[in-house]
């Protein structure tokens, strides 16, 4: 008998076609499973759940899913899943690391270039007919040479950003739970800071790539923003709640922080109204991994975890969280 798989919203067709070769697949409409109750109402007949980051897979959901054996999260993160409950209920959890790395690093650099070189403002004013020829003092931005790019979270994506940034002339500093291996650190000429606040004081640009944990929620708050250099920039392509959005908006409005490029938000999809009106911000609707190739690879990694589990090859799933 084919197992039943619930895919909580549409993903690329080749991935669904692969799942259908061995399973009965149901696909929810976008937004259908963004609440705990919606999942509770539907989950019971399913052996597998392919969930989006927006799906709250709580203990109640898992307890209701009496047939559930594995959750494949369509994301590198898994803060939407109660991992402790999954362990207690003997439900395996897989995520999709690695495949988002390059696309997300590219998006990070796009945000950095946009906010630090006044790209959106210059484009807007040109379209409004305000361009009257070259001027020596207009749209002056950040010269990357010998500036310090601070990377908060030096995992795969952080390292990919560092490699790109070095080619632009940045000096790399980073804060992480522990230092990188010496050979990696030397290849990036990166300097490790164990103290977050000392690290922030030295950043000309802060780029956030840390996972969301209870410990780093609102790590970047009003006090820590005040420690940063006046005129520094912040980029976030990791998780929105790492930044206190209101505090960031106020720091942008005061001019202490010169600009921010954000692809993720604290209460996604809602955005703090102060942030919407803050100067020199580029706000993207969570598009960090938005290339066809990446979205296919994300889906196939999640689908392959389900396939391997179904075929009794759980030990060969490389991306198991628990």
| Structure tokens given for 214 | 């209870």
3-class secondary structure for the chain?
CCCEEEECCCCCHHHHHHHHCCCEEEECCCCCCCCHHHHHHHCCCCCEEEECCCCCECHHHHHHCCCCCEEEECCCCCCCECHHHHHHCCCEEECCCCCCHHHHHHHHHHHHHHHHCCHHHHHHHHHCCCCCCCCCCCCCCCCCCCCEEEEECCCHHHHHHHHHHHHCCCEEEEECCCCCCHHHHHHHCEEEECCHHHHHHHCCEEEECCCCCCCCCCCECHHHHHHCCCCEEEEECCCHHHECHHHHHHHHHHCCEEEEEECCCCECCECCHHHHCCCCEEECCCCCCCCHHHHHHHHHHHHHHHHHHHCCCHHHCCCECC
Residue 270 CA to residue 278 CA, distance in Å, equals 15
- Supply the residues annotated as catalytic: 239, 268, 286
Residue 112 CA to residue 141 CA, distance in Å, equals 11
Query: Whose CA is closest to 302, among 2, 1, 25?
Result: 25
Query: Whose CA is closest to 173, among 157, 189, 156, 155?
Result: 189
283, with CB counted inside 10 A (0-12, 13-18, 19+), is middle
């Amino acid at each position: 008998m084919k197992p039943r798989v619930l895919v909580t919203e549409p993903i690329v067709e080749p991935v669904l076609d692969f799942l259908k070769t061995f399973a009965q697949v149901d696909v929810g409409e976008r937004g259908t499973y963004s609440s705990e109750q919606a999942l509770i109402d539907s989950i019971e007949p399913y052996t597998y759940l392919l969930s989006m980051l927006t799906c709250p897979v709580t203990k109640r959901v898992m307890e209701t899913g009496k047939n559930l054996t594995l959750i494949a999260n369509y994301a590198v993160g898994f803060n939407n899943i109660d991992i402790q409950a999954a362990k207690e209920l003997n439900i395996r959890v897989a995520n999709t690391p690695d495949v988002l790395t390059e696309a997300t690093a590219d998006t990070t650099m796009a945000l950095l270039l946009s906010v630090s070189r006044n790209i959106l403002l210059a484009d807007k004013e040109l379209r409004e007919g305000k361009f009257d020829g070259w001027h020596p003092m207009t749209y002056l931005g950040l010269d990357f040479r010998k500036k310090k790019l601070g990377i908060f979270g030096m995992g795969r994506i952080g390292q990919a950003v560092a490699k790109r940034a070095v080619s632009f002339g940045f000096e790399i500093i980073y804060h992480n739970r522990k230092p990188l291996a010496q050979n990696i650190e030397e290849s990036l000429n990166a300097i490790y800071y164990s103290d977050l606040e000392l690290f922030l004081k030295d950043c000309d640009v802060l780029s956030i790539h840390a996972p969301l944990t209870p410990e780093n929620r609102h790590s970047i708050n009003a006090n820590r923003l005040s420690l940063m250099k006046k005129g520094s920039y912040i980029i976030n392509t990791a998780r929105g709640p790492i930044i206190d959005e209101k505090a960031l908006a106020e720091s942008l409005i005061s001019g202490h922080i010169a600009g921010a490029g954000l692809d993720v938000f604290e209460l996604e999809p809602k955005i703090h109204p102060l942030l919407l009106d803050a100067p020199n911000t580029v706000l993207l609707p969570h598009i960090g991994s938005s290339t066809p190739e990446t979205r296919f690879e994300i889906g196939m990694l999640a689908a392959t975890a389900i396939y391997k589990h179904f075929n009794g090859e759980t030990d060969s799933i490389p991306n198991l969280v628990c």
